[in-house]
Amino acid sequence: MEGTFSASSRYLRISPRKLRLVAALVRGKSLAEALVLIRFVPQKAGRFMEGALRSALGNAKDRSKGSVEGLVVQQVRVDEGPQPRDTKRWTPKAMGRVGSMRRRTSHLLVVVGGGDVSKEVKKQEIKGTKKAKSLPGSGGAGKGIKAAKKQAGKKINKTKPRGGSGGAGKSSKEKGKS
């Protein structure tokens, strides 16, 4: 079996943000493992993803000359679809205002291929494992700045500085009396 096989689903009535959460689950996994995993996902996006994975499997069976064992989900791409005029809705807000509700749509592309995982999937896995930078000797990212300031001898001021008319000087009534 050579090459890659793809399947796409377009104009799905789900927001891309929700669909990307499920896409991250199957990216880089074997096709058989992804199909089993996606069966137990309770989100609506799981149904869309399962349909696209099964379609990619069907395309691989039709177009390949060998067996379809060992297929890997190489790429899962979720793009934002159009927002047709008839899917825009309005909801009442406070003080007589109106707020818009946008019914988002998505495009889904699934690419499956041979047993090796592509470089793109490896990059995405590495990118997701980066941790927040912190200063050495600190407990975490937020504590590092405070620890560094304390070591430098600077005092951390937690109160807001007073402004020009914040009461540092005389009030306007007191100014007129003098």
CATH of the domain at 88: 3.90.470.10
Q: Within 10 A of 80 (CB to CB), how many other CB atoms are there?
A: 13
Residue 122 lies in a domain: no
Total length of the chain: 178
Q: Tell me what the pLDDT averaged over the chain comes to.
A: 78
Which residues have CB under 8 Å from 27's CB, separation 6+?
A: 73, 75, 76, 121, 124
User: Is 172 a residue whose pLDDT tops 70?
Assistant: no
Q: Is 140 within a domain?
A: no
User: Would 63 be classed as within a structural domain?
Assistant: yes
Quote the pLDDT of residue 136: 45
pLDDT digits (tens, 9 = 90+) for 120-148: 455 555 555 544 444 444 444 455 555 55
Least confident segment among 23-32, 69-78, 156-165: 156-165
What average pLDDT does range 87-94 have in this prediction?
88
Domains identified in the chain, total number: 1
In a domain, residue 71? The reply is yes
Whether 144 maps to a domain, the answer reads no
What are the angstrom distances between the C-alpha of 130 and each of 25, 29, 35, 145, 172?
Answer: 18, 20, 28, 19, 55
Residue 117 pLDDT > 60? no
Between 115 and 93, the higher pLDDT residue:
93
Residue 87 lies in a domain: yes
Of residues 39, 9, 38, 7, the one with CA closest to residue 24: 38
Q: Mind listing the pLDDT tens digit for each residue in 141-163? A: 455 555 555 655 655 555 555 55
Instruction: Write the DSSP symbol of residue 18.
Output: H
Q: Which amino acid is at 85?
A: R
In a domain, 43, yes or no: yes
Which carries the bigger pLDDT value, residue 59 or residue 120? Answer: 59
What is the residue whose two structure tokens read 């060998």? 66
Q: Say what the pLDDT of residue 30 is.
A: 94
According to the model, what pLDDT value does residue 15 have?
95
Least confident of 6-10, 44-48, 88-92, 110-114: 88-92
- Rounded alpha-carbon distances, angstroms, from residue 80 to 15, 18, 67: 8, 11, 34
Alpha-carbon separation of residue 114 from 25, 45, 68, 69, 107 (angstroms): 19, 25, 9, 9, 24
Q: Mean pLDDT, to the nearest integer, of 35-43? A: 95
Q: Choose from 30-44, 54-68, 154-168 the range with maximum mean pLDDT.
A: 30-44
**What's the pLDDT at 9?**
96
- Domain-located, residue 26: yes
Q: How confident is the model at residue 87 (pLDDT cuts 50, 70, 90)?
A: confident
**Domain hosting residue 53, numbered range:** 5-117
The pair of structure tokens assigned to 89 is 């809705």
